[in-house]
């Protein structure tokens, strides 16, 4: 693995994570167990799910991580060789984080405005 790891897989949380997981499943001809998917935050979490889905002989192959990383990164274009099991799935410094934060701020302002307007109507 690369001594300068990429700290994330580059997924934006905008649906591309579904495509990335599908790439992994297609590359290995398996379906992952999604029971713990809500806890998947790192590449290592998805890798562990993949290993559980594979037959033992396949799960123990020495090239498994490299094949997994290549499949996982097809969606984002991040260099697969830069991933480590600790690499975060979602990109916290990408534009989608700013869009999500901006959207949350906008909805908060709208909600506060509506509450103030309703309060004035009830008191007035």
Provide the pLDDT for residue 76.
Answer: 83
Same domain, 65 and 109: no
Same domain, 64 and 75: yes
Where is pLDDT greater, at 51 or 112? 51
DSSP 81: G
Name the residue among 14, 25, 28 with its Cα closest to residue 76. 14
If one counts the domains in the chain, the total is: 2
Q: For the whole model, what pTM was predicted?
A: 0.69
Query: CA-CA distances (angstroms) from residue 12 to 20, 27, 89, 115?
Result: 11, 21, 9, 32
Residues in the chain: 124
Domain that holds residue 41: 1-91
Contact 23, 74 (CB under 8 A): yes
Same domain, 68 and 8: yes
- 84 has pLDDT over 90: yes
E strand or H helix that includes residue 11:
strand 8-11
How large is the average pLDDT for residues 85-105? Answer: 63
């Amino acid at each position: 693995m690369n001594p300068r790891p990429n700290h994330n897989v580059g997924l934006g949380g905008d649906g591309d994570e579904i495509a990335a997981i599908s790439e992994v499943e297609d590359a290995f001809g398996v379906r992952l167990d999604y029971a713990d998917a809500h806890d998947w935050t790192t590449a290592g979490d998805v890798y562990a799910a993949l290993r559980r889905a594979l037959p033992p002989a396949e799960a123990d192959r020495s090239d498994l991580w490299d094949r997994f990383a290549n499949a996982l990164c097809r969606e984002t274009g991040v260099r697969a060789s830069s991933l480590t099991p600790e690499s975060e799935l979602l990109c916290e410094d990408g534009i989608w984080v700013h869009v999500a934060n901006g959207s949350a701020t906008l909805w908060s302002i709208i909600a506060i405005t509506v509450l103030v307007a309703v309060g004035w109507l009830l008191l007035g």
